[in-house]
């Protein structure tokens, strides 16, 4: 069903005669014209083409495609993959593959093609052609200080679709505009395209340019970069090399699919065997510079979503919490609250401000809170 108050959208295809296969580029362009603020295009057998706007799926009525068949989605998937043999092999072996796709002069996409019930389905995340800035993402201006860092680890975390890639692109662009560095990115797939500004920047895509994050990272350490961006720290080996890179004078930016600051630290530490975990705590405590966690909350007027960020910054207290582990009176949340004057902030504090300003309604705010009971009590007062 379409979202409340929004019916199915009809679009026309230029040059479509009503017979034969619809050209995939024309279909994508037509769907992008269907509405503003489209975040995803979705193609599923048995359903019409759909766009996602502010988290709501809306069917798009396309001539000749009232309901997609398995043959339609297979045709779309084949057009998107093109001659990428690695993607074809991955799809056959693993049941899904990630690729990037560009529609010249219109948009770029991060694409996931997967097999379900024996047929192809496709989800395409729309990537802005322009790199955003901190203001447009409603992130604190002081995060531009990342460009002043000489080394260490900066992590951007959050659930899928929370804007991690956009934030990483902004931070990288701050460095690119201010520093004369060599920057290497390792992404799966490449999303935002960065041009050479003050820095020289090389972007490598998993599978087409390198077989794995770990392999590309080890190579990067011999390619004289000052800054390395790793799209995601997915496994123990990648985390180990990121720590090594930070310890040898590199600034590393990366992401994790974790919900808040404590869970981010827990994910990193628990990736290693118990006998190694204390050593990893000590190494990460010395190496990290920022942990920026994000969530997107629906606005009260349903006109869109508003980002909320939890920010942990390295200082003696936060390093101690990571190195020695959280304990009574010395938790990471306590450290974040104590570091408010240094630009640190926690989710529930930021959500409370949005609820009081009526940007977000009470029910939504509490449902997205880290500690709903405490936030509810605070707002009730």
- Render pLDDT for 278-316 as a digit per residue (tens, 0 to 9): 999 999 999 999 999 999 999 999 888 899 999 999 999
> Whole-angstrom Cα distance, residue 86 to residue 89?
5
Residue among 356, 366, 346 at smallest CA distance from 297: 366
The CA distance from 101 to 191, in Å, is: 9
DSSP string, 91-140: HHHHSEEEEEEEETTTEEEEEEEEEETTEEEEEEEEE-SS---TTTTT--
Token pair, residue 336, equals 């974040």
Name the phi and psi angles at 114, rounded to 5.
-140, 160
Compute the mean pLDDT over every residue in the chain, rounded to the nearest whole number.
92
The CATH number for 141-345, chosen from 3.40.50.300, 3.40.50.2300, 3.40.1210.10, 3.20.20.220, is: 3.40.50.300
Question: How many angstroms separate the Cα of 165 from the Cα of each of 26, 89, 263, 341?
Answer: 27, 26, 19, 27
Residues 6+ apart with CB under 8 A from 153: 242, 243, 246, 252, 253, 254, 284, 287, 288, 289
Domain range 9-127, CATH architecture: 2-Layer Sandwich (3.30)
pLDDT in tens, 339-359: 999 999 999 999 999 999 999
Containing 376, the helix (H) or strand (E) segment is: helix 372-380
pTM for the full predicted model:
0.84
Where are the domain boundaries for CATH 3.30.450.90 in the chain? 9-127
**Residue 4 pLDDT > 50:** no
Q: Where in the chain is the domain with CATH 3.40.50.300?
A: 141-345
> What are the pLDDT digits (tens) for 213-271?
999 999 999 999 999 999 999 999 999 999 999 999 999 999 999 999 999 999 999 99
């Amino acid at each position: 069903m379409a979202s409340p108050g929004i019916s199915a959208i009809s679009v026309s295809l230029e040059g479509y005669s009503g017979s034969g296969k619809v050209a995939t580029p024309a279909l994508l362009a037509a769907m992008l014209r269907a509405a503003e603020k489209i975040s995803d295009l979705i193609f599923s057998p048995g359903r019409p083409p759909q766009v996602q706007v502010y988290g709501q799926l809306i069917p798009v009525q396309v001539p000749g495609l009232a309901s997609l068949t398995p043959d339609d989605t297979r045709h779309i998937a084949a057009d998107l993959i093109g001659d990428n043999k690695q993607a074809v092999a991955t799809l056959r072996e693993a049941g899904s593959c990630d690729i990037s796709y560009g529609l010249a002069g219109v948009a770029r996409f991060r694409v996931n093609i997967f097999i379900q019930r024996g047929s192809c389905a496709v989800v395409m995340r729309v990537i802005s052609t322009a790199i955003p800035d901190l203001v447009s993402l409603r992130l604190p201006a002081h995060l531009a200080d990342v460009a002043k860092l000489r080394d260490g680890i900066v992590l951007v975390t959050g659930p899928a679709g929370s804007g991690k890639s956009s934030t990483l692109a902004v931070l990288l662009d701050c460095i690119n505009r201010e520093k004369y560095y060599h920057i290497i990115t390792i992404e799966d797939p490449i999303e935002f395209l960065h041009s050479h500004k003050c820095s020289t920047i090389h972007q490598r895509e998993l599978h087409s340019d390198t077989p794995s994050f770990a392999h590309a990272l080890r190579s990067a350490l011999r390619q004289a970069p000052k800054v390395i961006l790793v799209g995601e720290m997915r496994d123990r080996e990648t985390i180990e090399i990121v720590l090594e890179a930070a310890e040898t004078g590199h600034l590393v930016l990366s992401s994790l699919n974790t919900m808040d600051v404590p869970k981010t630290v827990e994910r990193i530490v628990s990736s290693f065997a118990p006998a190694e975990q204390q050593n990893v705590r000590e190494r990460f405590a010395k190496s990290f510079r920022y942990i920026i966690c994000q969530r997107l909350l629906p606005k009260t007027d349903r006109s869109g979503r508003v980002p909320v960020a939890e920010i942990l910054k390295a200082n003696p207290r936060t390093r101690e919490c990571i190195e020695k582990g959280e304990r009574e009176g010395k938790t990471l949340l306590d450290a974040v609250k104590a570091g408010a004057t240094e630009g640190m902030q926690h989710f529930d504090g930021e959500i409370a401000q949005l609820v009081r300003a009526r940007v977000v309604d009470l029910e939504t705010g509490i449902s997205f809170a880290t500690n709903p009971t405490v936030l509810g009590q605070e707002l009730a007062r």
